Structure 1
Amino acid sequence: MINWIREKFKHSLDSKLLFEEAIKCYKIEAFRASLLFSYLGFLNYIKEMIIAGKKPAHIDNSRWDKIIRTLNDENFWEDRVFTELTNSSNTAIFKFNDSIKEQIKYWKGRRNDCAHFKDNEINFHHTEMFWSFLKSNLSKISLEGSKQNLLNKFCDFFDRTKTSINASPDILINEIENAVEYSDLKDFFTSLNNIQIIGSGYYVPDEDKQNVFFRILSEIKNKRIINELVFFIKNQAQNYDLKFVIEFPISINYLNYNQVDIRNIWKVRVWMLGHAKYNILLALIRNNKIPAQETEEFYKDIFKNFNQTGYQNLNLDDNSKKVMFDNNTFNNVAYEIMFVEGNIYTKDYNYINSKEELITLLFLYKDINEVMVEGLKKMVENGIRPYWLQDSLTKLFNENENKKNKILQIAATLNCEQSFYDYFQLN
């Protein structure tokens, strides 16, 4: 707690000195003096906040001027700060709940016990409790109201003329728990999401806000805050939650999807997205979200819906493709549909081309057998010319010596004609 006190008040010279005295007194067990210095350090901090702050819109100029004059009077400033902190009228300059105001009144009473050496006992726990009160509530005390004050800080954070793109939002994120009432969390997240990015350059500015949300999910331990943020993310329009998972795949573990939600994602929702949909499917696989009994259906849906016409390829790196498709379930699905059922030589070139990337992955990850080579043989013999598949398999066979030798070995047993070898440049 002492480290927090020193860090919190290090930028206020007078408050820093008062709290250092409080810490010295605490260490030598002069607890009355320690609590008194702590209370004065707190009030001095609030005094400086008011003097440096802007007049709230609902406060008359004459009242504001009078407050500032009184705060600059060494004989009356302490009483004025206490009065303004505990003011619950329409002219109050602070907006925070009455519970905090009552606690401030309580600590004013303990301050008087210290200053006037009254009979009430003051022990080490009084100082520690007061410091705990400050840690829990200081961020809620601001001229704009704690929630709005924190939003103002986020506005500055998202203003790239004021804050570097490499700056961390962690300090602001850590204020949420103490600065925002639970009942205000929904409005807070909505307002945070609506903040405009200034001077963002050429990168996508929404990623900044998504990054803040992800850091809240992954770093804050308060369940109520997390639950409110999850509810907010999942109830935004235009598949916001799935786009969030695309940006931060591990977040699929934070968003509390049940099995019905997961099934709806891969059966329906993901196919409404663009090429990045395969990142969602990959996140489901990597995080073991597909029940074993639904795995085959999952891969059948991928194969059925996959259509790379219009450049709707997988758009995954080689390692991701391996994670997604180097498994017996996918191999069996693609193998059954294209070769056992004979789609490779009965469908037209448009259909075959639309599945080219998946067929090529099948040849890459599965041991090539006679059924597969015979399927290609019949495709060539039937005069089907899926040029994408021709190019990709030709490249695969000629860059992978083992695959090429396997094809040649099986082709010889099937008595493939020269046109087959020419087609895939296997001469």
Structure 2
Amino acid sequence: MKLRFEKWLEEQNFSEGAYDVFEEAIKCYRATAYRSALLMSYVGFLTIIRDKLMETKYIPKGYTEYDWKINILAPIQDGENWEKNTYEKIKKADRPVINTSKELKTQIDYWKDRRNDCAHNKRNMITYSHVESFWAFLISNIDKITVLGSIEELIIDIETFFDISKTPANEPFFKLSEKILATVTKKDEMIVFIPQMVDKMCTHDSTNNLIWDFRNYGLLNELFLNSNLFSKEFIKYLDENNMKQELANFLKLYPVHSKFLNGNDTLIREIWYSFLFEFPDMPMLGYNSISLYCSMLRNGLIPKKQLEEASERIFPGLIDRAFGDEISEMDYNTLNEYGFFKIFDSIFSNEDKYNTLYVRTVHDFYWANRCSDIITKYLENSPITKDRVKFLSYLFPYDGFWPVELRPKLDIMFEKHHDKMELIKNLIEEYDLDIPDLRFLRKD
């Protein structure tokens, strides 16, 4: 049975030299020679770092080409001292060449000390758990250790990743995401990097307009999940460069990231007023738009004094697909909490307040059919009243014409709730109401 570490190694693209060292480490581990296993694993780790320094195409700032060859590359190729010299390059503080955090350097120091325990046969106990812990350290952190000044190289990696002829479409995003965030760590670097990233990860049409796809959004999701700095700077870039629709499209797929809009009141309003819709001038909501709208509500992004206006703006554009694949309880409850269903309450109670909206929406069979799921969900969660029965009679005249997609869904819903069916029958009898053309009320 293969070890987790072996499976991970098979997925990497390390040098043959690194693989050979790790193979020896695994043999020692299986033979319970844990000191040797840890020692060889540490050597394999330094081999990877040495390879990164030797293979980088871009020299970090502060080094001339000659300086780089003499003071960096030559020492790490010294047959006697390469291990010590490579470790020193990781720790180098005056003119750093390796980009990594203080916390990670502390962990590297710890494993160097354990390496010394193994090499010098010190009394500290070394067990299988040390070896497995070091392997876990490698799996978690090796991609976070990068050569400084390699943003240009990173851009090449991004271009390669999104070139379908070089990288399969199902390639995971996390390794590239980790490399990006390990390489680009400062605000001024983000400002330079983001436009280049967007240009290389998107395809271009015949007029050089950017074309975004689900893989672009998948990488962005990984980056948003792991870097507040990237998230804020990326939103700022799209906002300032007339790519607000692309931003909205991304947030519709990953609405949890709406929190990063906080503080940009103009952009927030533009999104719910225009960019939730399929097209800014087309009054129909896009896929998962309501999930984004609900996330904005939960994050307190829409001022209370604008909530009624927002509800009235969104209501005519409703379509079931705006909730995604299904209506989640969390989103439904959010809409209810923030007063969205007051419009439904008014219309289904025959009030006059939203007569104009009623004519444009529920009165229109096309609207009622495309919103059949949300109407059914609303009626399932609403009390049965005389006014609502009267409205159902109007919407479903007996032996008349009615929304053909909405009616069977209401039939199924009501037949699950015998209490609602009985109450409707009682109200019809008590007030001599017209009978809605619903299956449980038909006499044939």
TM-score grouping bracket, smaller chain normalisation? 0.5 to 0.7
Contact 1:185 1:228 in 2 (8 A): no
Could you tell me which residue of structure 2 aligns to residue 229 of structure 1? 234
- The 5-angstrom pairing of residues 190-269 of structure 1 reads 190-194=198-202, 206-220=213-227, 223=229, 225-234=230-239, 235-237=241-243, 239-256=245-262, 258-269=264-275
Report how far residue 215 of structure 1 moved: 1.1
Contact 1:157 1:169 in 2 (8 A): no
Could you tell me which residue of structure 2 aligns to residue 167 of structure 1? 171
- The 5-angstrom pairing of residues 121-136 of structure 1 reads 129-130=91-92, 133-136=96-99
Paired letter, 2:233: E
Report how far residue 255 of structure 1 moved: 4.2
- The 5-angstrom pairing of residues 23-422 of structure 1 reads 49=55, 95-96=58-59, 98-101=61-64, 129-130=91-92, 133-136=96-99, 139-140=146-147, 146-160=150-164, 162-177=166-181, 179=183, 181-182=189-190, 184-194=192-202, 206-220=213-227, 223=229, 225-234=230-239, 235-237=241-243, 239-256=245-262, 258-273=264-279, 274-276=285-287, 277-303=289-315, 305-306=316-317, 316-319=325-328, 322-323=332-333, 325-327=335-337, 329-341=339-351, 343=355, 351-356=363-368, 357=371, 358-377=374-393, 385-388=401-404, 389-417=406-434, 420=435, 422=437
Paired letter, 2:286: H
Rounded Cα–Cα distance in structure 1 between residues aligned with 2:338 and 2:195: 48
Could you tell me which residue of structure 2 aligns to residue 89 of structure 1? none
Structure 2: segments with no counterpart, 5+ residues = 1-8, 22-45, 76-86, 101-144, 205-210, 280-284
Change (3 A) 1:98 1:350: closer
Report how far residue 268 of structure 1 moved: 2.7
Rounded Cα–Cα distance in structure 2 between residues aligned with 1:287 and 1:348: 30
Contact 2:286 2:322 in 1 (8 A): yes
Rounded Cα–Cα distance in structure 1 between residues aligned with 2:194 and 2:71: 32
Contact 1:278 1:316 in 2 (8 A): no
Q: TM-score, normalised by structure 1?
A: 0.60
Report how far residue 240 of structure 1 moved: 0.1
Structure 1: segments with no counterpart, 5+ residues = 1-6, 18-37, 51-93, 112-124, 197-203
Report how far residue 244 of structure 1 moved: 0.3
Report how far residue 407 of structure 1 moved: 0.9
- State the secondary structure of the residue aligned to 1:351: coil
- State the secondary structure of the residue aligned to 1:284: helix
Q: Deviations over 1:381-407 (max 9, x none)?
A: 799843345444344323421221121
Paired letter, 2:328: N
Larger radius of gyration: 1
Rounded Cα–Cα distance in structure 1 between residues aligned with 2:267 and 2:173: 31
Rounded Cα–Cα distance in structure 2 between residues aligned with 1:271 and 1:167: 31
Change (3 A) 1:97 1:127: closer
Change (3 A) 1:405 1:315: farther
Change (3 A) 1:360 1:46: closer
Paired letter, 1:228: E
Paired letter, 2:378: L
Q: TM-score, normalised by structure 2?
A: 0.58
Q: Deviations over 1:51-79 (max 9, x none)?
A: xxxxxxxxxxxxxxxxxxxxxxxxxxxxx
Report how far residue 279 of structure 1 moved: 3.5
Rounded Cα–Cα distance in structure 2 between residues aligned with 1:380 and 1:168: 50
Report how far residue 370 of structure 1 moved: 1.9
Change (3 A) 1:236 1:323: farther
Indicate the RMSD between aligned Cα atoms, in angstroms: 5.2
- State the secondary structure of the residue aligned to 2:62: helix
Report how far residue 245 of structure 1 moved: 0.8
Contact 1:246 1:279 in 2 (8 A): yes
Rounded Cα–Cα distance in structure 2 between residues aligned with 1:375 and 1:10: 69
Report how far residue 127 of structure 1 moved: 6.9
Report how far residue 300 of structure 1 moved: 2.9
Q: Which of 184-193 and 131-140 deviates more?
A: 131-140
Report how far residue 421 of structure 1 moved: 5.2
Paired letter, 2:221: F
Moved beyond 6 Å, runs of 4+: 7-10, 125-128, 380-384
Q: Deviations over 1:72-101 (max 9, x none)?
A: xxxxxxxxxxxxxxxxxxxxxx65464244
Contact 2:90 2:97 in 1 (8 A): no
Report how far residue 176 of structure 1 moved: 2.7
Change (3 A) 1:100 1:162: same
Contact 1:275 1:312 in 2 (8 A): yes
Aligned length: 336
Report how far residue 333 of structure 1 moved: 2.2
Paired letter, 2:226: E
Report how far residue 177 of structure 1 moved: 4.8
Contact 2:202 2:213 in 1 (8 A): no
Report how far residue 414 of structure 1 moved: 0.9
- The 5-angstrom pairing of residues 1-40 of structure 1 reads 11=15, 13=17
